[in-house]
Chains A and B, each alone.
Chain A
């Protein structure tokens, strides 16, 4: 895999990048070197805010509006990108360096067919004629294992799935046969089962065309599959850089070690005889159209965590909406401590509402940007428990302590917090109600791994101390292993199985559970190869 000693394609020396905020320039990248040979893949990892995307974009000589490169040199194949005029730079971007963004859906023009967008750069730069570019695009679609490669290009972006769109975008990047592709978290928004296919496709392409790539991600297991070398960034500084295998086997710096340790979190599964929540034979649909839930039954034992896993569209979140009463079930019932809950939220009492709280995936949108942390946490205290003034303030401080933040955060607005801190505030808002059940809807999937671990440990500690039961919705099996007692697997609005964690995770599995478990990346550079080998044997 590694082919060092090839000729140098990209050489970045002592790069400094600044962003403009608050009437002054603040450093984002503080002097980082980066070099890349032809055909080599470099993985860039780090927490959000580490500057990995900014550095990745800078390797094209590009910065976002409001940022500037204030120092260093960027030499791409003998050309100094910082000296080029913007029109010459744009020609290089179209033809020799390509960029694959995290959100493919936002990067396509919805008004044009996929194939027109795929070939646009190659044709504009005169690299190939329109017809040859189109033939080539169809071949690329085929090699990226898109369905119906001959005709999929005739569709519009909204007519294909997110995973397919991500692969089309990779094809678009490859169309002019660039020397360098920058992948900026290309699989973060995808399901595990789709992610495997996209990863495999990207890696084949990079190997077949001898393209160099910078692969930016916060998922260590993914970068282990893709990269020849890994560079770890933090606070805009380089922490360390090494060969992938070497880095995985023996990371040198403490910070890198702590990143690696995250995946070892695991809790012993326990059972409980009494159920706090029973969902019994529930059907549900949105606005009378097709049913989204079919005869779903889930039980949540007291003081335990039940994880609901499945792809997007499997009905996980809908089940949560039925429990909260936002979407009344058309059939079946929800029992809370043995008593039936009114199906519609409007008929539930304040006490019933208090006992079931919810935490969302996107902490950004779950908090009112115009309210301070004190107001956000204080409101349920005032609303449910009638606390006011000093008493309320003291309780908010206590809650901030318990989520490992401090009094300084009381006056801050959500915009002044990091992603992990935001999610902690959301957790403390739920805790403030002193609930029996908390529904966690993908609460960690938008966070970096090291932050994820902190959040999961916080949730587990709260469970030990307060005996809260969690209904934990996720598509990440590693999270499930870490915190659940029981697992529910859902597919197409039905429950495939529910059982104790260890039973569900150990064979024999129903077919779908098997596929889901197989798709979870492991921290082993050979994992992806193994998955595809097994697949080809099975075929």
Chain B
């Protein structure tokens, strides 16, 4: 660079200049460099979301439509057969995506609202309130969550609403810990102190000063937490206290069709049937984990070895 002026000017100082891109362009650049596992994960997730959103259009039969022949084998009418009271399994599998994922997503969102907000407050406050919340969370976490959820659900009775609230509260303890841990590092930064000195309220400091700076770990945590919530709901449904029939749900479907597995020696396809909803659960969990792995690697700032 041949600079004409050798004297000093503030605007001419060299900062680390980056090429300015829109968010869309940046996402595209990142996507092109993503490893194959992340691409597979993304494709699977998009596939599930499409299934969940357009279930009524895709499914050949209704969610709870009872057809005349129960336990029908795989055929061109019923690709995956029917269940014990004659509902089309493929349709239930497709509707199941909508119910299981939808409820798990709502639950995770609620868990993040509760745990995230309290975690931020605890990180900023750091006094008796922090102690109270943290110890309370310790107590909640000391109880095995599945058993605790089972207990609470049998007290209040299983419904989608109580399922969401109970699991959200139980899982918000984990979110609280993560949020508090990362927010504490940001809360001591001088720009937060500057906001306090300016007289800003708690809401502004939480939303505008701290939250944007702790988003990457929280987004990753959201993915992982979603997996756990999803598995918990499936487990509870399998045990019969989760999502209730006639709502189609993968956990319930595994339970309802489980006895088919003993017919595997007569018809292999009958044996595979109960494994399909279980497989759907496993596939989504793995896909989300692939994407979270990639995202964590990107945001942790580790340079790729060349």
Contacts and interface: CB of A to CB of B under 8 A. Distances in A.
Contact of B18 (A21, A254, A353, A358): A21
Interface in A326-352: 326, 345, 348, 350
A105 B177 CA distance: 30
Contacts, number: 98
Interface string B179-198: 00000000001110110111
A451 B197 CA distance: 27
A362 B190 contact: yes
A405 B190 contact: no
A383 B197 contact: no
A353 B199 contact: yes
B148 to A, nearest CB: 37
A421 B29 contact: no
A200 interface: no
Given A360-B194, A365-B191, A367-B191, A254 B6 contact: yes
Nearest to B14: A49
A406 B7 contact: no
A510 interface: no
Contact of B189 (A23, A255, A365, A379): A365
B194 A416 contact: no
B24 interface: no
Contact of A370 (B8, B15, B213): B213
Nearest to B21: A22
Interface in A445-468: 450-451, 453-454
Interface residues of A, number: 56
Given A23-B29, A383-B199, A383-B200, A370 B212 contact: yes
B3 interface: yes
Interface string B205-224: 00011001100000000000
A403 interface: yes
Contacts of A420: 10, 13
Interface of A: 21-23, 30, 47, 49, 65-66, 235, 237, 253-255, 258, 324, 326, 345, 348, 350, 353-354, 357-358, 360, 362, 365-371, 379-380, 383-384, 403-406, 408-409, 415-421, 424, 429, 433, 450-451, 453-454
- For the complex of A and B, the 3 pairs showing the least CB-CB separation, nearest first, are A370-B212, A418-B13, A418-B15
22 contacts: A30-B1, A235-B1, A237-B1, A258-B8, A326-B196, A348-B199, A350-B199, A358-B197, A360-B194, A365-B189, A370-B213, A371-B208, A371-B212, A403-B10, A404-B10, A416-B18, A417-B15, A421-B10, A421-B13, A424-B10, A453-B8, A454-B8
Interface of B: 1, 3, 6-11, 13-19, 29, 189-191, 193-194, 196-200, 208-209, 212-213, 303
Given A66-B303, A419-B13, 18 more contacts: A21-B16, A22-B19, A235-B14, A237-B1, A255-B7, A353-B199, A358-B197, A360-B194, A362-B190, A368-B209, A369-B213, A404-B10, A404-B11, A405-B10, A416-B16, A433-B198, A453-B8, A454-B8
